[in-house]
Amino acid sequence: MIKQNIYLGDNVNIDPTTSINNVDIGDNVKIAKNCSIYGGPENLLEIGAHSYVGMNAILNGFVKKLTIGCHVSIAQNVNIMVDSGPNASAAMQKVFPIIKQPVTIGDHTWIGAGTCIMPGVTLGRFCVVAANSFVNQAFPDYAVMGGAPARLIRILTKSEIEQIKE
């Protein structure tokens, strides 16, 4: 693989076992071991400042834009993808076409371990995704979601939102 388009902010810490390409990573980001993080030459994968990516995460933004906000916490074994389908079979693609859609993760969102986020998902700011969730739809700011497929568990309370804003 040709390494290209790698833009790193100040104080970025990336474990040497992690692979990155076509990325724009903000200040003070930490990326743990064995991650695969890549955008495409035409659409750099963005990770906002002060975010964390846990070990074994796969952030696939090659064919469409993948945007991770600031202060986002991504736990271990998370898979975020902008495309999905039977890549190796043109015959199967006639029935199950490859889905290619951008993904956006809002600022201050917390994604639990083992979560899979599918193409076309937008998560608002201050969201919480329970561990081992399968997220295939959008959720608004302050949403707490979980399950397979993920469903809305609740919206943060007024008191919780006030605490966050202090």
Give kind and range of the element (H or E) at residue 110: strand 110-111
Of the candidates 33, 137, 40, which has an alpha carbon nearest to the alpha carbon of residue 24? Answer: 40
Of the candidates 26, 16, 49, 23, which has an alpha carbon nearest to the alpha carbon of residue 37? Answer: 23
Residue range 91-142, pLDDT digits in tens: 999 999 999 999 999 999 999 999 999 999 999 999 999 999 999 999 999 9
Residue range 44-80, pLDDT digits in tens: 999 999 999 999 999 999 999 999 999 999 999 999 9
Q: Tell me which CATH code domain 6-165 carries.
A: 2.160.10.10
d(CA 84, CA 136): 11
The owner of tokens 């790698």 is 6
